[in-house]
Amino acid sequence: MNRDTWTDIQSIFHDALELSESERDAYVEAAANGDEEVLREVRAYLAADRSASQLLDEPILELNTELFAEGPVETLLTGREIAGYQIGRRLGSGGMGDVYYADDLSLNRPVALKFLSAEFHCDDNAKAHLKREAKSLSVLKHPNICDVFTYVDAGEHQFMVMEYVEGESLANLIADQRLFPVTTDNVGLQIVSAIAAAHEQKIIHCDIKPGNMIVAKNGTTKVLDFGLAKVVHDQSRPDLPSEQITQAAKSVQIGTVAYMSPEQHEGRELDYRSDVFSLGILLYELHLGKNPFERSDAQKTKEAILDGNVTFASQTGESVRPALKRVLTKCLEVDPSRRYSDAAKLKWDLEHLQRSWLAAITWKVGAPALALLTVFAIVSAVFYFGNEPERSVAIMPFLNETADPELDYLSDGIAENLVDRMQRASGFIIVPYTKLTGVLSQNVNVAQIGKSLNANLVVTGRIFKNDGNLVVEAKLIETRDGSVARTSLIDLKTEDIQTAENVMLKKLFEDLDVWTLEPLENGGYTPGKTKIPEAHRQYLIGRGHWRKRDRTNIDLAIGAYQRAIDLDPTFARAWAGMAECWVLMSSVAYGSITPKESFDRARAAARHALEIEPANAEARTVMGVVLTKHDWKWQEAEVEYRQAITDDPNYGAAYYWLSGLLGIMGRNEESIAAAEKAKELEPYSPLVEYNLARTYYFARQYDKSLEILNRGGSTQVEEEKIQYLTALNYIQNGNTDEAIKRLEAISAKNKMLAVAALGHAQAKVGRRREATKLIEELKASAKGSYVPAQEIAIIYIGMNETDKAFEYLHAAYREKYGSLSALRVEPLFDGVRDDARFRYLLVQMGLN
Amino acid sequence: MKTSTSVTASLVKWSDGDAAAFDEIYPKLEPELRRLALSMFRRFRPGETLQPTALIGEAYIKLAGQNRVIWRNRNHFFAIAATSMRRIVCNYHRDVNAKKRGDGAIKISLSKLTGPAFDRSSDLIALDEALDKIAEFEPRKVAIVEMRFFGGLTNLEIAETLGISESTVAREWRMTKAMIYRMLSNES
């Protein structure tokens, strides 16, 4: 077509469009003037114009809001809210389902939702299948299997609600060669464990491939997509048909060609051994970076699998160690009867293999891994060839040598962060940080401490100032001989304090050859924690103050926690910290608000924390304390403490409070056992030590109590309480004068703490006038601030003024004064114990 | 993102109106552009629309390592942004579809019209190829499609950018749509 013709066509087309439809054809025929080509073309364009009226009319960006999403745009659910779930981006698409990220609006947590793909929306079989998948998965609880929460039928949509795992597909990690040898073993074993658990539940996965495995940033691997799974025919129930893949699934390709077993390719009956074959391919790929059977097309791939010839070498000629090769060969046998009979047997061999993996290092070693491996080889040699059970690291609180108390929070902050990160790095057993509570106050050499905690290595450090710059020094010390294996120095400008932790951790990790999958900047989603750095900093400051635990510091801690909560109201641990402060506030040692206010506030804060993070052991424990000290619901309190222990078996404070509760209830032996357990968990905590002494005091083993009080190198923080408890023991074992001396000394600093015991002791040795004077003073100050009636009662008991004593004991009962809960066991009450009114009080309190 | 000086030079030429400069550097910039487009899309709530000018502006600032972009003029920037958008979107889908093939391939709707009669044409890649053919003899028509469909400009804005009347834009647009329709539907 020449230019003129083209110009003619266009101008006739435009002119025709000016006319009404009925006039157009006559005009076009006339205007074409006998040129057949022009006539044909214009007619065609006019016809196209009629059909194309809406073509391209909306800009593409408005038509397709998810332009870059992978998958059919018209089915995207992103942005919608369905049955209480706010749907986010699509995470992926499987054979029959689409998986979306979503926010569970009622529980405020991220979840993954699996919907049926558009093409199955009207397929009842597919719906039933999805429901069945949800049902069978919900019984399959395993750390390496993505958790299924529930199945929702919302009319138009049916979906399965699953745990959201933030991480990357194993397929991507393999393709990008981002797995280190150490992780390779680890990831492989996790997957095999998951499938073994499925097999135990009689479930065959049928679609094992790297694309169905997701590796979280901390290296935890989860098996996803049991969409093709089938349940093995149950021999014991011949009435039930085996739950074969449904019609729906049959219409899509079952499995993925390159990972299917020979029997799967041939459409034969499948059992666990089919999964074993697929696991073999996956493990091979993990170690050698490629699928052994993958060929240029599906047909050739299938032939390779049926042929069963496997060469154990990557493109670059790397191979696997012989023991592993034997395991893989056994998985990849064409004849199922020659394979492992199920994943559990494979798991057993793999575990055995890992225990001896240093024996033959013949796998690929990338440059970054080499350094790691060297360290591993050194330290693991102890583990694998020596007799020591495990390689373990204890991380000490860092010393603040800056003379700036504002930076105190860094001492625990840095160490705890290190513990947290190193726990997630491969190859280390980390001593729980709580074991080191209060360790700074002990003048012991760090290697000894490490040894006492069965650690091979100790990380210790300090923060100091040099020319105005903040410097952090960390040392890695061998506990065997106290030698310094490494020193790491990090210069931080003072104003960089917020990023200090990250910078330092990075440097420390480099220096200590710690490797972690998790990028330091991005903590990922952790329930209870915050993503806001300043909120986290305030939390650490709060905790620093809380650890010092005196009147001033508790106030400061509350202020810091409040700032953290203001910055991030979903910060569960800050709420828990707040609760821990409030629960102390009615105790004479710390605060002077009424028990009701103190416990109400504590309970409210703890509830907040538990709503956000149900497994928060600290908040759970506070609930127990409130139930103990305020509600006097002893059984319920015990349940809370035991739950806290379940949630965090290393949380010493739960045992600490539990021992107190059991003591109150007169269960002395159990109480002492719990106190000893707390001591085991926090061997260096003065508070726990003190509690142990108090437990023996309540059990009336005064000598044992005094022995503990005397052996613990007393510390400034707990000095008063230690002296106080010592004095109480002296009152009971007849050394009253010594008791009075100590109580007088305490009284000079903390009158409220000492006054009741002092007056009681004075009255006992006949100094009634002084005791009466103390009572007068207490009554006078009760006009201004809260004075616990129990304190006055205790003095009257010393004076044998029984009626007066009961007057105030009853008042204390009405006040629900916390310490009154020790009524049954507190030796100070022994003078009135035989009185009928006392027994009645015990009954009223449920302590009889 | 670090960019070499030659890339920066090309970027400057591009902002100066040299479309060929964009073609030169596009392969190097593509991953970053896609990443950026993706992240910008995610920032938008459903119902909101990504402005290509915002995307290209942000991309330029990021890539050239500059704090602001000096475009020769506003109209010119619209044209550049629309062309770039077409490139980003089409190449992205070409790649993704090449990987997925068959059923998994993404179908981008070119119209509110849907239905069996329009299946063949609901293909962004086919549109891209059609535009390439049209560009051989009617480059201005392609510019109009780019600005309207990929750039979301109005006829008035397009008229200003191209220095022609609004009615010409409307006429050209209608002709071009008919041409595209024919190419996409039966005469492939």
Please give the share of chain A, as a percent, with pLDDT higher than 70. 77
**Is the CB of A61 less than 8 angstroms away from the CB of B49?**
yes
A9, A45, A55: best to mutate for the B interface, most B CBs within 10 A: A55
- B-chain residues within 8 Å CB-CB of A46? 178
- Produce one character per residue of A56-66: b if its CB has 16 or more CB atoms within 10 Å, e if not: bbbbbbebbbb
- Nearest to B176, CA basis, from B166, B165, B184: B184
Closest residue of chain A to B44, computed from CA coordinates? A65
pLDDT (tens digit per residue) in A511-533 = 554 443 333 343 333 446 777 77
> Which of A64 and A402 is assigned the larger pLDDT?
A402
Contact A63 B89 (CB under 8 A): no
DSSP A110: E
Give the model's confidence band at A373: pLDDT under 50 very low, under 70 low, under 90 confident, else very high.
very low
Is A52 in contact with B181 (Cβ distance < 8 A)? yes
* Average pLDDT, integer, range A613-626: 92
Facing residue for A14 by CB, picked from B48, B111, B171: B171
Which residues of B, range 68-127, sit inside 8 Å of A by Cβ?
Answer: 85, 89, 92, 96, 100, 104, 106-114, 117, 121, 124
B 20-49 near A (Cβ less than 8 A): 34, 37-38, 41-42, 44-49
- Say which of A10, A56, A68 has its CB closest to residue B38: A68
Q: What is the DSSP letter of A243?
A: B
Q: Measure in Å the smallest separation between the Cα of A10 and chain B Cα atoms.
A: 7
Closest partner residue to A60 (CB to CB) among B150, B174, B182 is B150
Kindly report which listed range (A115-129, A308-322, A770-784, B18-32) carries the lowest average pLDDT score.
B18-32
A208 within 8 A of A194, measured Cβ to Cβ: no
Could B38 and A71 be called an inter-chain contact, meaning their C-beta atoms sit closer than 8 Å? no
Six-digit token pair at A524?
């990922």
pLDDT over 90 for what percent of chain B? 13
Q: What is the pLDDT of residues B91-145, one digit of tens each?
A: 766 766 665 544 444 555 555 444 333 443 346 778 888 899 999 889 899 999 9
Asked if B60 and B69 count as a contact pair (C-beta separation under 8 A), the reply is: yes
With CB atoms and an 8 Å threshold, state whether A65 touches B104.
Answer: no
Binary contact (B34, A68; C-beta < 8 A): yes
A61–B185 CB contact, under 8 Å = no
| pLDDT value at residue A654 | 92
Q: Residue B65: left (phi > 0), alpha (psi -120 to 50), or beta? A: left
Judging contacts by C-beta atoms under 8 Å, the chain B residues touching residue A70 are 96, 100, 106
Q: How far apart are CA A83 and CA A719, in angstroms?
A: 57
Tokens linked to A678: 């707390």
Distance CA A421, CA A401 (A): 24
Q: What pLDDT shows up at residue A700? A: 93
Higher pLDDT, B62 or A314: A314
Mean pLDDT of chain A: 78
Contact B37 A73 (CB under 8 A): no
Whether A116 has a pLDDT exceeding 50, the answer reads yes
Reported as a pLDDT band with limits 50, 70 and 90, residue A383 is: very low
How many A/B residue pairs have CB atoms within 8 Å? 116
Write down the pLDDT at residue A590: 67
Helix (H, G, I), strand (E, B) or coil at A296: coil
Helices (H) and strands (E) in chain B, counts: 8, 0
A491 Cβ contact list (under 8 Å, min separation 6) = A466, A469, A470, A471
Q: Are A354 and A287 in contact (CB under 8 A)?
A: no
Instruction: Say if residues A527 and A572 touch (Cβ distance below 8 Å).
Output: yes
DSSP sequence for A373-390: HHHHHHHHHHHHHSS-S-
Higher pLDDT, A307 or A374: A307
Instruction: Express each pLDDT in B49-87 by its tens digit.
Output: 455 666 666 666 555 554 445 555 556 666 777 787 787
Q: A637-664 b/e with 16+ CB inside 10 Å = b?
A: bbebbebbbebbeebbbbbbbbbbbbbb
Predicted confidence at residue A361, as pLDDT, reads 29
Interchain pair A64, B109: CB under 8 A: yes
Cα–Cα distance for residue pair A194/A208, rounded to 1 Å: 11
Neighbours of A100 (CB within 10 A): 24
Residue A602: is its pLDDT beyond 90? yes
What is the nearest CA distance from A55 to chain B, expressed in angstroms?
5
**CA-based R_g, chain B, Å:** 17
Query: What does residue A837 show for φ and ψ, rounded to 5 degrees?
Result: -65, -35
| Selection from A728, A729, A718, A777 nearest residue A751 by Cα | A777
Confidence (pLDDT) at A13: 94
Give the gyration radius of chain A's Cα atoms.
36
**Helix ranges, A613-666 (H):** 617-626, 634-647, 652-664
Q: A417-464 pLDDT, tens per residue?
A: 777 666 655 445 667 666 676 666 555 677 777 877 777 778 887 878
Judged by average pLDDT, the poorest of A151-155, A391-395, A719-723 is A391-395
Q: Are the C-beta atoms of A501 and A508 separated by less than 8 Å?
A: no
* Residue A72 with chain B: CB contacts under 8 Å: 106-107
Residue A254 tokens read as: 């079952």
Which residues of chain A approach chain B closer than 8 Å at the C-beta? 6, 10, 13-14, 17, 44-46, 48-49, 51-52, 54-74, 78-80, 89, 93
pLDDT digits (tens, 9 = 90+) for A496-513: 555 556 666 666 665 554
- pTM above threshold 0.80: no
For residue A742, give the nearest of A763, A760, A709, A720 by alpha carbon.
Answer: A720
Residue of chain A nearest B51, judged by CA positions: A61
Distance (Å, whole) CA A15 – CA A28: 9
Digit-coded pLDDT (tens) for A190-214: 899 999 999 988 888 888 988 888 8
Provide the pLDDT for residue A698.
93
Written as one string, the DSSP assignment of A139-207 is T---TTB--EEEEEEETTEEEEEEE---EEEHHHHHHTT---HHHHHHHHHHHHHHHHHHHHTTEE---
ipTM of the complex: 0.79
